[in-house]
């Protein structure tokens, strides 16, 4: 019998804009999505996938590698098979559909990364409604890598906030961020120096803003590791954030522990 349902929120983005006026390929990271989902299932929880349009997320090609599984080819192949074939990955809802099912039916939310959330989730009104519900109820809310940027959707003027960041107007962004529910929370996110690696070797272009800059402008108390790509999870109240792809196992552990504590209370 399931211990409860966890709403896994994915992105539908396939491209992200860059400063040269073009776009680069993006999507959702394989390990960041599947490792926590499998851990939740193993711990007795049911996972329900939802995206803005209800379609399955696009896998970021940069994540399609055993390197993101510590070189464990068997773990990589298991994750690929889960992504391709498991019902949990292939019978998703729209975000609106998840809301209409009743958010009280879900014990937690989990938002994995890849740069996709920077494109769609951070300005999606349904994502905002979901984030606000879990914040107000104090229910575990886990966001990994670029995933924490989706918390921006909860603010009253998320779209204007993002536009100000793209325009390079940090002062205006701070103005639009007023009323953000997570202002003052301790958190982490994919760092500026980690993003530079992606910009230099994957995108071959610069993004309009980095994630630490964005969440700091919003009012978050953002920290990062001294060494890039070291695992890092920050917990503040109901909010659980992981810094990078290598934080996949630690954030899964933290989320399951938070769920189990609520279940035992």
| Domain extent at residue 110 | 5-264
Task: Give me the chain's average pLDDT, please.
Answer: 97
Q: Is the pLDDT of residue 245 over 90?
A: yes
pLDDT (mean) for 178-199? 98
pLDDT band at 92 (very low <50, low <70, confident <90, very high): confident
Query: Which pLDDT does position 205 carry in this prediction?
Result: 96
pLDDT digits (tens, 9 = 90+) for 93-135: 999 999 999 999 999 999 999 999 999 999 999 999 999 999 9
CB 248 within 8 A of CB 191: no
pLDDT band at 136 (very low <50, low <70, confident <90, very high): very high
User: In 10 A of CB 67, how many CB atoms?
Assistant: 13
Question: In residues, how long is the chain?
Answer: 265
Q: Is the pLDDT of residue 1 over 90?
A: no
Beta strand 141-144 pairing with 106-111: parallel
Please give the tally of structural domains in the chain. Answer: 1
Which percentage of the chain shows pLDDT scores above 90? Answer: 98
Which percentage of the chain shows pLDDT scores above 70? Answer: 100
Q: Is the pLDDT of residue 250 over 90?
A: yes
b (16+ CB within 10 A) / e for 190-219: bbeebbeebbeeebebebbbbbbbbbbbbb
Q: Is the pLDDT of residue 19 over 90?
A: yes
Query: What's the CATH code of the domain at 81?
Result: 3.40.50.880
Query: Which pLDDT does position 42 carry in this prediction?
Result: 98
**Nearest 5°: phi and psi at 152?**
-60, -30
Beta strand 93-94 pairing with 221-222: unpaired
264 versus 1: the higher-pLDDT residue is 264
């Amino acid at each position: 019998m399931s211990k409860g349902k966890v709403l896994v929120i994915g992105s539908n983005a396939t491209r992200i804009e860059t400063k040269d006026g073009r776009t680069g390929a993006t999507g959702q990271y394989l390990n960041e999505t599947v490792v926590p989902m499998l851990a939740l299932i193993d711990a007795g929880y049911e996972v329900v996938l939802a995206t803005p349009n209800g379609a399955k997320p696009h896998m970021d090609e940069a994540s399609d590698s055993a390197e993101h599984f510590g070189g464990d080819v068997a773990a990589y192949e298991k994750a690929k098979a889960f992504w391709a074939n498991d019902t949990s990955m292939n019978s998703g809802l729209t975000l609106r559909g998840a809301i209409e099912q009743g958010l009280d039916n879900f014990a937690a939310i989990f938002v994995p990364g890849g740069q996709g959330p920077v494109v769609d989730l951070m300005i999606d009104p349904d994502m905002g409604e979901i984030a606000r519900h879990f914040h107000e109820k104090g229910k575990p809310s886990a966001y990994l890598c670029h995933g924490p940027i989706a918390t921006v959707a909860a603010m009253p003027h998320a779209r204007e906030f993002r536009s100000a960041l793209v325009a390079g107007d940090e002062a205006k962004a701070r103005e639009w961020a007023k009323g953000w529910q997570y202002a003052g929370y301790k958190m982490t996110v994919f760092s500026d120096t980690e993003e530079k690696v992606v910009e230099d070797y994957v995108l071959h272009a610069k993004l309009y803003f980095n994630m630490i800059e964005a969440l700091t402008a919003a009012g978050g108390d953002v920290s990062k590791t001294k060494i890039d790509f070291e695992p890092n999870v920050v917990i503040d109240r109901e909010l659980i954030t992981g810094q990078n792809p290598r934080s996949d196992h630690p954030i899964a552990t933290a989320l399951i522990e938070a769920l189990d504590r609520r279940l035992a209370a």
